[in-house]
């Protein structure tokens, strides 16, 4: 599971983090503390990553949101995300 691998790697590097894989957990985490960054995996069928990003931006506008796109990008018809200062791995 990619999110757990990323979280484990961040913890090994000395960072703190939490795994919140649905809207309820995201809301609970944001209510309990401030986060410098949030990593959202958009390659999912069980939950709506765009909804999670909107919730994070609404409740914690200073939190940096990093969106992991699925291989090949987003499917046509997906709700558009506004991205400030996009970074490409290419």
pLDDT in tens, 4-62: 888 899 999 999 998 887 788 889 999 999 999 998 887 765 567 788 888 899 999 99
Q: Kind of pairing, strands 37-41 and 64-68?
A: parallel
Give the CATH number of the domain where residue 35 resides. 3.40.50.2300
Question: In terms of pTM, does the model score above 0.85?
Answer: no
Angstrom CA distances, 78 to 38, 74, 75, 81, stand at 20, 7, 6, 9
Sequence-ordered strand ranges (E) for the chain: 37-41, 64-68
Residue 78 lies in a domain: no
- Can you tell me whether residue 69 is helix, strand or coil? coil
Rounded CA-CA distance 3/62 in Å is 22
The domain total for the chain is 1
**What is the model's pLDDT at position 3?**
80
In a domain, residue 12? The reply is yes
Given a cut of 80, whether residue 67 has pLDDT beyond it is: yes
What is the structure's pLDDT at 30? 92
Domain hosting residue 63, numbered range: 2-68
């Amino acid at each position: 599971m990619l999110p757990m691998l990323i979280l484990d790697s961040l913890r090994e590097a000395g960072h703190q983090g939490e795994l919140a894989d649905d809207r309820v957990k995201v809301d609970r985490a944001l209510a309990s503390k401030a986060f410098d960054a949030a990593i959202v995996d958009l390659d999912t069928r069980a939950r709506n990553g765009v909804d999670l990003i909107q919730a994070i931006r609404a409740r914690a506008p200073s939190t940096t949101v990093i969106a992991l796109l699925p291989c090949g990008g987003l499917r046509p018809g997906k709700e558009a995300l506004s991205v400030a200062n996009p970074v490409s791995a290419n």
